[in-house]
């Protein structure tokens, strides 16, 4: 988990500094490209079945927060200001499963 500022953003993208879960593989994170795939968190409960609630102190969160897999994005490492914590393996697995629900597989 990192704290990052995604601004500038556009449209319905989540704006403002917030925690992000890194969901990409280490090969990408360390490839020298300076990018990772991330999922932002929000403190707002939108009652979405897709969102994943995470209670503090997991992930270094200070308040109950919700991962938003529909907002999966690329984040430059330059936008990340600090590491904030780590998700438990089961929580990360659940988040990845929710991300995969949104990704198309070819037939």
Q: What is the pLDDT of residues 50-96, one digit of tens each?
A: 999 999 999 999 999 999 999 999 999 999 999 999 999 999 999 99
In CATH, what number is assigned to the domain containing residue 64?
2.30.30.110
Whether residue 38 lies inside any domain: the answer is yes
Model confidence over 18-48: pLDDT tens digits? 999 999 999 999 999 999 999 999 999 999 9
Whether residue 51 lies inside any domain: the answer is yes
Residue-range definition of the domain harbouring residue 60: 2-99
Picking from 73, 69, 75, the residue whose alpha carbon sits closest to that of residue 102 is: 69
Whether residue 10 lies inside any domain: the answer is yes
Whether residue 89 lies inside any domain: the answer is yes
Count CB atoms within 10 A of the CB of residue 62: 11
Whether residue 20 lies inside any domain: the answer is yes
pTM: 0.91
- Cβ atoms of 64 and 54 closer than 8 Å: yes
How many domains is the chain partitioned into structurally?
1
Give the DSSP H or E segment for 48.
none
């Amino acid at each position: 988990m990192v704290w990052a500022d995604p601004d500038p953003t556009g449209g319905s993208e989540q704006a403002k500094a917030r925690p992000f879960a890194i969901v990409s593989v280490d090969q990408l994170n360390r490839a020298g490209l300076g990018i990772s795939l991330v999922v932002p968190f929000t403190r707002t409960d939108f009652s979405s079945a897709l969102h994943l609630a995470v209670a503090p102190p997991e992930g270094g969160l200070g308040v109950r927060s919700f991962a938003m897999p529909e907002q999966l994005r690329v984040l430059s490492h330059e936008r990340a200001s600090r590491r904030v914590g780590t998700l438990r393996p089961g929580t990360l697995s659940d988040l990845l499963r929710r991300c995969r629900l949104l990704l198309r597989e070819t037939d």
